[in-house]
């Protein structure tokens, strides 16, 4: 059986006709940038994410840049960021003119290590931090981060690009963030038909500034309070996202079933791998199946899966400090946990609509790949 790493058609096909009707209406009404679809989406997101203000924007990277700028983070500011994450948070810090400081991950939850972060603050005096809620869950120290940052006057921007639907103690993790961001890149848990993103905050003044920054820093049509960006959401994307969000419960359920299947399957194989999962009290959204191999490298395993017709990914095969533009970046340690993890990680197929037969075929292929290393 061939299994793709991701198959978006399974979630797009059921809403195809509705989306085509919506898009026809957009064309008829020339609803291209902003408009009722965007307003409707922002309202739905406010309810779903349990936040008071949502500002839709063009993508999750702009959301980070604009979020930092809205907090007043720019030249001269030092911003902590985990060494294991997608490149965007690093880019955003550099784009606003600030200085990134790389922090290692905790091998327990794979999120930015809280103790190392606190030690790093004593040394570097952070002005801000980007806490990335990575892999479909969040740090076991989420509240500690929020309290510590508040106490030490560190502006905390929470990157929730991968965490749509994640809850802690039954409450959306976006609900109590000072400011958070999200990406609706098509492969995300809630994905658009192109690029899209949003910025969330409970603070109405901050929300107003964010809205202006997303629209050239505008005060009026040709008057400007800030030097901002053109990061407005297209009406067509908003209409698509409104349809997607209506089927989100089923999509989450499907992802979580697959994640649970993989966890159960590999529970008896702890000498081969660790299947990472959300910390206690955190409800994952099943964004990724994150497997840390004990002996064979992720590259070896993905080659073996490919031979069996099974798609896989390696999130992420290199850490930030190993990317050429980031090699001289300040850091709080030798970053050994993230560097090791990046060599050993392998992600099996996991997407809304995946079947249990596909999960089984993927898991069996990976198990076979682990055993090759035992014999050789």
* Residues of this chain that bind ligand PLP (CB under 6 A): 59-61, 85-86, 88-89, 132, 159, 161-162, 183, 185, 195, 197
Residue closer to ligand PLP by CB (options 37, 67) is 67
CB of 301 to ligand PLP, least distance (A): 22
Whether 185 and 215 have beta carbons less than 8 Å apart is answered as: no
Residue closer to ligand PLP by CB (options 68, 369) is 68
Residue closer to ligand PLP by CB (options 186, 353) is 186
CB of 197 to ligand PLP, least distance (A): 5
Whether 310 and 79 have beta carbons less than 8 Å apart is answered as: no
Residue closer to ligand PLP by CB (options 112, 132) is 132
CA distance 50 to 338: 32
Residue closer to ligand PLP by CB (options 261, 351) is 351
CB of 5 to ligand PLP, least distance (A): 15
CB of 135 to ligand PLP, least distance (A): 9
Longest dimension (CA), the chain: 70
- In the three-class reduction of DSSP (H, G, I as helix; E, B as strand; rest coil), residue 287 is classed as coil
- In the three-class reduction of DSSP (H, G, I as helix; E, B as strand; rest coil), residue 346 is classed as strand
CA distance 112 to 131: 7
CB of 222 to ligand PLP, least distance (A): 29
Ranges of beta strands (E only) in the chain are 53-57, 78-82, 99-103, 128-132, 155-159, 167-168, 171-172, 179-183, 197-201, 273-275, 282-283, 289-293, 330-331, 345-348
Backbone angles phi, psi at 322, to 5 degrees: -90, -5
Residue closer to ligand PLP by CB (options 61, 365) is 61
CB of 134 to ligand PLP, least distance (A): 6
Residue closer to ligand PLP by CB (options 86, 117) is 86
Whether 298 and 274 have beta carbons less than 8 Å apart is answered as: no
| Per-residue exposure over 68-85, b if at least 16 CB sit within 10 Å of its own CB, e if not | bbbbebeeebbbbbbbbb
Structure tokens at 216: 């050239």
What residue is closest to ligand PLP based on CB? 60
Residue closer to ligand PLP by CB (options 60, 311) is 60
CB of 184 to ligand PLP, least distance (A): 7
> How big is the chain, counted in residues?
376
CB of 87 to ligand PLP, least distance (A): 8
Residue closer to ligand PLP by CB (options 65, 361) is 65
Whether 166 and 173 have beta carbons less than 8 Å apart is answered as: yes
CA distance 308 to 311: 9
Read off the DSSP letter of residue 324: G
CB of 369 to ligand PLP, least distance (A): 26
CA distances, 263 to each of 99, 257, 278 (Å)? 39, 10, 11
């Amino acid at each position: 059986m061939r299994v793709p790493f991701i198959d978006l058609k399974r979630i797009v096909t059921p809403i195809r006709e509705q989306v085509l009707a919506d898009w026809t209406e957009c064309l008829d009404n020339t609803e291209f940038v902003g408009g009722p679809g965007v307003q409707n989406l922002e309202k739905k997101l406010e309810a779903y994410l349990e936040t008071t203000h949502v500002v839709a924007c063009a993508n999750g990277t702009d959301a980070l840049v604009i979020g930092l700028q809205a907090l007043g983070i720019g030249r001269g500011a030092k911003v902590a960021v985990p060494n294991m994450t997608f490149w965007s948070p690093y880019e955003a810090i550099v784009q606003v003119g600030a200085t990134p400081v790389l922090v290692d991950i905790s091998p327990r939850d794979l999120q930015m290590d809280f103790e190392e972060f606190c030690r790093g603050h004593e040394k570097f005096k952070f002005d801000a931090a980007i806490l990335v809620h990575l892999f479909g869950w969040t740090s076991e120290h989420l509240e500690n981060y929020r309290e510590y940052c508040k106490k030490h006057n560190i502006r905390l921007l929470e990157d929730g690009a991968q965490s749509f639907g994640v809850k802690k103690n039954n409450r959306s993790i976006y609900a109590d963030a000072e400011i958070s961001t999200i990406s609706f890149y098509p492969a995300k848990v809630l994905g658009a038909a192109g690029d899209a993103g949003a910025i969330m905050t409970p603070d109405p003044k901050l929300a107003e500034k964010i809205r202006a920054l997303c629209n050239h820093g505008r005060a009026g049509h040709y008057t400007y309070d800030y030097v901002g960006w053109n990061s407005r959401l297209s009406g067509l994307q908003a209409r698509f996202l409104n349809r997607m969000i209506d089927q989100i419960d089923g999509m989450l359920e499907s992802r979580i079933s697959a994640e649970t299947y993989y966890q159960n399957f590999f529970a008896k194989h702890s000498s081969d791998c660790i299947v990472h999962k959300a910390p206690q009290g955190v409800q994952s959204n099943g964004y990724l199946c994150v497997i840390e191999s004990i002996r064979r490298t992720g590259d070896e395993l993905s080659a073996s899966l490919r031979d069996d017709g099974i798609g896989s990914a390696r999130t992420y095969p290199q850490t930030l400090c190993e990317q050429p533009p980031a090699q001289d970046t300040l850091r709080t340690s030798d970053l050994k946990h993230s560097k090791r993890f990046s060599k050993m990680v392998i992600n099996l197929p996991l997407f809304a609509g995946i079947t249990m037969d596909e999960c089984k075929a993927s898991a069996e292929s990976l198990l076979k790949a682990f055993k090759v290393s035992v014999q050789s």
